[in-house]
Amino acid sequence: MHFEYLVEGGNFSKAGFPSSQVKKTLKQLNVDGSVIKRTVVALYEAEVNIVAHAYSGVILVAIDTEKIRITLTDEGPGIPDIKKAMEIGYSTATPAVREMGFGAGMGLSNMNSNADSLDITSEVGKGTKVEIINFFGK
């Protein structure tokens, strides 16, 4: 099962729609509630990051019998120091992002604690790729 969603940078009014769709799909598939919550929280954090920092992004969702793999690829400024970005409290978010209730420097570490596997690669000036994998059996 595959899904694809486009994400517009800067458009907070639409943020959360892909995460909402994924949640509905996982519910229909009778995936365990705690796995659904971890997955959609991680995805939503990643989605908000694209809206907050990038120009545009694509979310690819692949679901098989044992896991969900979500790949978020954006065109944006990239992350110069991923290790530093993972630190709680480190943020480069604009005041506009903070007004929306985000940008406190907690997103990446929260993604990490809600994903069985999290892989972030980034190229400064080009963009960032985030891969989240969660297993249904956990």
Partner 1 sequence: MKISEIVKMIGGSVVAGNKNSDIEFEMAFASDLMSDVLTVKTDNLLLLTGLVNIQAIRTAEMSDIACIIFVRNKKVTAEMIRIATESKITIIQSPFSMFKVSGLLYNTGIKPVF
**Interface with partner 1 by CB under 8 A: which residues?**
12-13, 15-16, 19-20, 23, 33, 37, 40-41, 44-45, 48, 100-107, 110, 113
Rounded Cα gap, residues 86 and 100, in angstroms: 21
Nearer to partner 1, 21 or 125 (CB): 21
Closer to partner 1 by Cβ: residue 3 or 12? 12
* Helices 33-53 and 17-28: angle between axes, nearest 10 degrees: 160
CA torsion through residues 51, 98, 127, 85, sign: negative
To the nearest whole angstrom, how small is the minimum distance from the Cβ of residue 11 to partner 1?
11
Checking DSSP bridges between strand 67-75 and strand 2-8, what pairing results, if any?
A: unpaired
Closest approach of Cβ 101 to partner 1, in Å?
Answer: 3
Closer CB to partner 1, 82 or 104, in the complex: 104
